[in-house]
Amino acid sequence: MPIMARDIMTGGVECVGENETLEQAARKMKDLNVGSLPICGEDNRLKGMITDRDIVVKCVADGGDPKTATAGQFAEGKPVTIGADDSIEEAIHTMQQHQVRRLPVIDGHNLVGIVSQADIARNYPEDRVGELVEFISF
């Protein structure tokens, strides 16, 4: 039986609200010891992802103010996600296609977790991990 995203994901994911400032997002990342957070709307739907690098490069380095810029301003386009019942192979394909290292996991319209490259590597057959790293490295 294939391994599904729900089997390997990190659950209990916290979001940053689309109206929260980048300063609040950065503080949440620090408190949770993570480098990225999903951005959720008032309707609790996923609007995108924001990384610590986004905050530095797209806001601070461009002279923006993280105390006033909101996470929602950095939610670009339709978020790249994977379904909770999608396979590891589908996750790898999606990561490669969109050049992302983390995928929010959706069940219906609800965010239920995140799958990272590390989650996949820990659950991929040992003899194929090198192939996996090469396949999704960019």
pLDDT of residue 112: 92
* CATH number of the domain encompassing residue 94: 3.10.580.10
Mind listing the pLDDT tens digit for each residue in 44-69?
A: 788 899 999 999 999 999 999 999 99
Mean confidence (pLDDT) of the chain:
88
pTM: 0.82
Check whether 76 has a pLDDT greater than 80: no
Q: How far apart are CA 14 and CA 101, in angstroms?
A: 18
Q: How many residues does the chain have?
A: 138
Condensed to tens digits (0 to 9), the pLDDT of residues 107-125 reads: 988 899 999 888 888 887 7
Please name every residue paired with 50 in a beta bridge, in sequence order, or none if there are none: 37
- Residues of the domain holding 63: 5-136
Q: How many domains does the chain have?
A: 1
